[in-house]
Structure 1
């Protein structure tokens, strides 16, 4: 805490006890605590304000870069120009989630499990 050692704090406490007195010391300590709390609050408020200003400056810089990149892209690819279709390899195939209604039924991809692949223990299996 500000480079103050324990022995220095003890010396300050003894001097405060001698000059302020034991009756007034608690009240003075409360006032000092309140003052330190206010100073910390002001410091937090000031720090938050500085961080907000920095954040806003960064956002403005990023928006400027985005606008410049957007202008570059728009200049490179004008809207009134006709562009050729991409090659077939670049076009994505449509993804089918279910077969069409007129499709023939297909066989399952996996064969049914063999009796030896049965996960039940041998003692629980019925006898053949």
Structure 2
């Protein structure tokens, strides 16, 4: 993000040691660490909020699209136009029925053949 290289970091450390002094350096680093932690937590909280807002906007858009498609389908097929659904056999039962029907239509085997 900031793109700080090794030489820039070394210059910052040297300036900090000269300006703050080696005695107060641990306290300064601790304070800087706390501030950096707060900034990271705030940015994570902000990012989470933004993600939630984006998700909500996407959901609203999807609901709007769904309502439009539903209205279009309902306009194309009024309530009285659609009849009741026809009951169908499950696939296994219909396959068995087809096999049984095929066996009924075949002539029986002659004795002695096989």
TM-score, with normalisation over the residues of structure 1? Answer: 0.64
Which of 92, 97, 102 is residue 96 of structure 1 equivalent to? 92
> Mapping of 1:47-66 within 5 angstroms?
47-66=47-66
In the TM superposition, what is the alpha-carbon distance from 1:94 to its structure 2 partner? 3.6
Task: List gaps (5 residues or longer) in structure 2.
Answer: 101-114
Distance 1:20 1:95, change over 3 A: same
Alignment partner, residue 118 of structure 1: none
Structure 1: distance between partners of 2:47 and 2:16: 33
Whose helix proportion is higher, 1 or 2? 2
> Mapping of 1:117-128 within 5 angstroms?
none
Alignment partner, residue 109 of structure 1: none
Secondary structure of the equivalent of 1:65?
helix
Alignment partner, residue 41 of structure 1: 41
Structure 1: distance between partners of 2:33 and 2:63: 45
Question: Which has the higher mean CA deviation after the structures are superposed, 1-10 or 47-56?
Answer: 1-10
In the TM superposition, what is the alpha-carbon distance from 1:93 to its structure 2 partner? 5.7
Task: List gaps (5 residues or longer) in structure 1.
Answer: 104-128
Alignment partner, residue 12 of structure 1: 12
**How many residues align structurally?**
96
Alignment partner, residue 28 of structure 1: 28
> What's the RMSD between the two structures over aligned residues?
2.8
